[in-house]
Structure 1
Amino acid sequence: MSSGTDHEDRFRRVYAADFQPLLAYALRRVAHPEDAADVVAETLLVAWRRREDLPPDGEARLWLYGVARRVLANHHRGGVRRQRLGERLRHRITATMAADPGSEVPERLAVRAALARLGELDREVLMLTVWEGLEPREAASVLRVSPAVVRTRLSRARARLRELVGDDLGPPGHVPGVLAAPAPKEGR
Structure 2
Amino acid sequence: MGSDVSIEDEDRFRQVYEGSFERLLAYALRRVEQPADAADVVAETFLIAWRRGRQIPDGDEATLWLYGIARRVLANHHRGGVRRERLGERLRQRLREAGPADPAQVVSDQLTVRGLLNRLAEPDREVLMLSFWEGLEPREAAVVLGVSSTVARARLSRARGRFRELVDSSNSIMAVREEK
Greater RCO, 1 or 2 (C-alpha within 8 Å, sep 6+): 1
TM-score normalised per structure 2: 0.42
| Structure having the larger proportion of residues in helix | 2
TM, length-normalised to structure 1: 0.40
